[in-house]
C-alpha cells in the first residue's frame, strides 16, 4: 500500500493496539553502530514533556505514543517541515508500538572481561561467514567488480562489511523500524548521553517517515534491527537517504531485497566518508612499539590518519614494511585481555571503515573477513597480516 493511501486508511480505522512485528536480535554488535547513521541528519529538538514520558516508561508503563505530548509536538514539527497532513500523521502514530526489547538492548553491557581482539575475531571471521561470503561474491562478481571500478572500493571490503553486518542478508532484523525508532526517541534508557541519543533517534524517526514517502512504501512495512538499521548493510534511515544508491537502476533503493543496491550503497558510504580510491597498498601494517611508551601519545587521536611515517618512528613505532612517504597514518591498539596487545599502523582507508562503526575491532574484522573470503575463493591459503 502506498504511503499516502495508507495514512488515509489509518485516519478512518486506526487502532492504537495493532500488533508489533515479532522481535529478533540481529547480528549487530551494538546499537550504534552503525554507521550507518547520516551524519548530517537534522536533530529534532527534545521537548520538555519527553522527560515525563521517559519517567513513565522507566516505571514500567509502556508508552502510548498517541497520548504523549512530546510525540505530538514532534509530529507537529515534522508535518510543518515536510508537508505531511497532520491528521494522517496522528493516525500513523496510533499504530506505532513501544518496544521494551529495544530499550533493553541499547543499554550498555555490564562490565565483564577485558576486550579481546582474538576472541572477537574468532566470532566474526568464521567458516559460516566465509562460505557465505564466497557464495555472495561468486553470485555478484560482476556487480562487485563494477563497484570497485566506479568507487575504488575493493570488492573484498564491500563483501567484508555485508558479511559482518548481516551474513549477507540472513540477519537483517524483524523489528518494525518505526516502533523501535519511536521507542528510542521518546523512552531511551538512563545514560549520560541520553538527551543526545534521543535527539538522534528523533531525527532518524523523521528520516524514516521521509524515506517511506520517497520510496512510496507503507512506513509500517519497514523492518530492521533493534536500533532501526535497515537491510543487508544495516543503514539507518538517514544513511539510506544520504548514501543509498539505486545500483540496479530499477527506480528504488532496496537495501533489504537487492544485493546490488546494498553493494553500491556500501561503496557510496565509504567514499563519502573518506575512502581514498588512489591510495594503494595495505589498509593496515603490523607494528611494534618501544618499551619507553613514548608512542602512547599517538594513540586515541581520533578516527583519522594524522601522522607521517617519521613521526611514528620518532615515537617508537616500527614496522617491517616500507610505509609510503606521501601518506599519513594512525596508530591503533587491539587489546587481547591478559595476553599482549597487538598494534597496527592504519591508513585513511582503515579509518573510513571506522566511520561505518566506530570500532577498531569492527574495521579489522571487516578487513580480515574480506581477506579470508578472497583467499578462500581463490583456493589459496590465508595470508598474513602484512598483506591486509
Residues involved in catalysis: 165
In sequence order, the 6+-apart residues with CB closer than 8 A to the CB of 372 are 125, 130, 133, 382
Q: CA 113, 116, 118, 124 torsion: positive or negative?
A: positive
User: Is the separation of the CB atoms in 222 and 212 below 8 Å?
Assistant: yes
Query: How far is 75 from 118, CA to CA, in rounded Å?
Result: 47
For the purposes of burial, counting CB atoms within 10 Å of the CB of 235, is it exposed (0-12), middle (13-18) or buried (19 or more)?
buried
DSSP string across 258-303: -HHHHHHHHHHHHHTTT--TT--S-SEEEEEE-TT-GGGGGSS--S
C-alpha 13, offset from chain centre: 36
Query: How far is 235 from 28, CA to CA, in rounded Å?
Result: 11
User: Is the separation of the CB atoms in 284 and 290 below 8 Å?
Assistant: no
The count of C-alpha atoms lying within 13 angstroms of the C-alpha of 363, restricted to the half-sphere facing its C-beta, is: 27
Query: How far is 39 from 200, CA to CA, in rounded Å?
Result: 10
Bridge partner list, 346: 284, 330
Q: Is 334 helix (H, G, I), strand (E, B) or coil?
A: strand
Tally of CB atoms within 10 A around 388: 18
Tally of CB atoms within 10 A around 158: 28
Amino acid at each position: 500500500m502506498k504511503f499516502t493511501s495508507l495514512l488515509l486508511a489509518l485516519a478512518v480505522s486506526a487502532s492504537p493496539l495493532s500488533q508489533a512485528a515479532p522481535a529478533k536480535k540481529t547480528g549487530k554488535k551494538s546499537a550504534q553502530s552503525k554507521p550507518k547513521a547520516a551524519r548530517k541528519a537534522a536533530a529534532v529538538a527534545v521537548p520538555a514533556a519527553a522527560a515525563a514520558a521517559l519517567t513513565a516508561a522507566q516505571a514500567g508503563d509502556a508508552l502510548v505514543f498517541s497520548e504523549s505530548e512530546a510525540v505530538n509536538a514532534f509530529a507537529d514539527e515534522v508535518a510543518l517541515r515536510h508537508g505531511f497532513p497532520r491528521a494522517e500523521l496522528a493516525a500513523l502514530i496510533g499504530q506505532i508500538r513501544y518496544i521494551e526489547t529495544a530499550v533493553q538492548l541499547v543499554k550498555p553491557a555490564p562490565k565483564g572481561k577485558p576486550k579481546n581482539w582474538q576472541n572477537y575475531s574468532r566470532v566474526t571471521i568464521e567458516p559460516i561467514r566465509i562460505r557465505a561470503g564466497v557464495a555472495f561474491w561468486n553470485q555478484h562478481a560482476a556487480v562487485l567488480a563494477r563497484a570497485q571500478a566506479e568507487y575504488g572500493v575493493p570488492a573484498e571490503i564491500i563483501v567484508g562489511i555485508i558479511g559482518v553486518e548481516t551474513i549477507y542478508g540472513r540477519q537483517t532484523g524483524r523489528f518494525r523500524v518505526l516502533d523501535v525508532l519511536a521507542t528510542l526517541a521518546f523512552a531511551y534508557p538512563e545514560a549520560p548521553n541520553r538527551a543526545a541519543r534521543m535527539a538522534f533517534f528523533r531525527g532518524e524517526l523523521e528520516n524514516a517517515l521521509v524515506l517511506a514517502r520517497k520510496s512510496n512504501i507503507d512506513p509500517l512495512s519497514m523492518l530492521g534491527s533493534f536500533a532501526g538499521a535497515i537491510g543487508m548493510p544495516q543503514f539507518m534511515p538517514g544513511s539510506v537517504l544520504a548514501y543509498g544508491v539505486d545500483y540496479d537502476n530499477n527506480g528504488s533503493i532496496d537495501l533489504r531485497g537487492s544485493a546490488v543496491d546494498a553493494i553500491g550503497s556500501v561503496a557510496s558510504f565509504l567514499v563519502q566518508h573518506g575512502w581514498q580510491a588512489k591510495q594503494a597498498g595495505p589498509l593496515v601494517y603490523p607494528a611494534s612499539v618501544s618499551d619507553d611508551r613514548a608512542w602512547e601519545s599517538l594513540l586515541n587521536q581520533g578516527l583519522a590518519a594524522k601522522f607521517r611515517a617519521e613521526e611514528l618512528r620518532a615515537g617508537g613505532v616500527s614496522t617491517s614494511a616500507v610505509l609510503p612517504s606521501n601518506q599519513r597514518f594512525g596508530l591503533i591498539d587491539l587489546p587481547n585481555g591478559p595476553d599482549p596487545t597487538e598494534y597496527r599502523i592504519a591508513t585513511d582507508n582503515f579509518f573510513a571503515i571506522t566511520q561505518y562503526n566506530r570500532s577498531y575491532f569492527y574495521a579489522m574484522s571487516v578487513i580480515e573477513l574480506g581477506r579470508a573470503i578472497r583467499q578462500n575463493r581463490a583456493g589459496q591459503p590465508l595470508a598474513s597480516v602484512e598483506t591486509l
